[in-house]
């Protein structure tokens, strides 16, 4: 595996525009459960109950949604960035990161130190809450206080509209600006690194393909095989944190920067 790590580090050092694409495997190493895995939230709840149209149309659905969302939020709030998040943030400081496109909703790239303008959150974020009517944004903890006080379904202070975590639900349209920007960055990079994604959730999973078709090298770092392994220039089956920390050390060396 060391030869693979050395090669990826060389590619990063030589690259002009590096795009990192992160999935759930990045966050599980920070203690956030993969909600799709056995024993996850979707074992306890039926995803059919949480479609966006149901949230909009039914008070009972909104109540059930907030119950589920509260359970998911607690481990996210406590979680801290792991070495993979920190390595991605360091790539930005070294001037090597064009952007990080993330499928995760946990805000860990922000906590790790990446700039807001470098983070594209394809599936939204659990760290904020939005009014579906007037689009007013609330801090998540502010709304969670209401839930803890016994309010089962929170509503907007300004217009009375329903409040919902700023995540993309089943049946909800992908965020137009973020999706368009992610495709643009994917098509114009020269190195695209997938970390911790199974690459099965569309349309996000098509972005490595966009990068590859436009001439970028494709690196996949994931514990398990993905559908795009055969297309990749390099596949590393291993832990995201250990792998990225090792790559970063070699990148710093290649750039002539002393170790931390």
Q: Is 94 exposed, middle or buried (0-12, 13-18, 19+ CB in 10 A)?
A: middle
Q: Which long-range contacts (CB under 8 A, 24 or more apart) does 207-214 make?
A: 207/21, 207/101, 207/182, 207/183, 208/21, 208/232, 210/183, 210/186, 211/19, 211/186, 211/187, 214/186, 214/187, 214/188
Number of Cβ atoms within 10 Å of the Cβ of 3:
8
Question: Considering 85, 110, 123, 184, which one is annotated as catalytic?
Answer: 123
CB 111 within 8 A of CB 122: no
* Residue 123 known to be catalytic: yes
Q: Is 91 exposed, middle or buried (0-12, 13-18, 19+ CB in 10 A)?
A: buried
Q: Which residues pair with 101 in a beta bridge?
A: 21, 120
Residues labelled as active-site residues: 123
């Amino acid at each position: 595996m060391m030869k693979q790590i050395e090669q990826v580090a060389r590619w990063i050092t030589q690259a002009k525009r590096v795009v990192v694409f992160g999935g759930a495997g990045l966050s599980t190493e920070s203690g956030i459960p993969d909600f799709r895995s056995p024993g996850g939230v979707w074992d306890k709840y039926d995803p059919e109950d949480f479609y966006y149209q149901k949230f909009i149309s039914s008070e009972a659905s909104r109540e059930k949604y907030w119950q589920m969302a509260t359970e998911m939020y607690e481990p996210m709030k406590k979680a801290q960035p792991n070495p993979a998040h920190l390595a991605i943030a360091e790539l930005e400081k070294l001037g090597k990161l064009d952007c990080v496109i993330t499928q995760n909703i946990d805000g860990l790239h922000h906590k790790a130190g990446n700039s807001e303008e470098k983070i594209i959150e394809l599936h939204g974020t659990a760290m904020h809450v939005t009014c579906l009517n007037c689009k007013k944004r609330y801090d998540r903890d502010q709304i969670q206080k209401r839930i803890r006080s016994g309010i089962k379904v929170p509503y907007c202070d300004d217009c009375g509209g329903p409040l919902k975590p700023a995540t993309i639900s089943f049946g909800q349209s992908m965020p137009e600006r973020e999706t368009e920007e992610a495709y643009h960055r994917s098509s114009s990079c020269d190195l695209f690194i997938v970390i911790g994604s199974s690459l099965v959730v569309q349309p996000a999973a098509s972005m490595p393909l966009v990068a590859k078709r436009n001439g970028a090298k494709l690196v996949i770092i994931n514990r398990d095989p993905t559908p795009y392994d055969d297309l990749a220039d390099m596949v590393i089956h291993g832990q995201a944190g250990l792998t990225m920390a090792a790559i970063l050390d070699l990148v710093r060396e290649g750039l002539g920067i002393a170790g931390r």
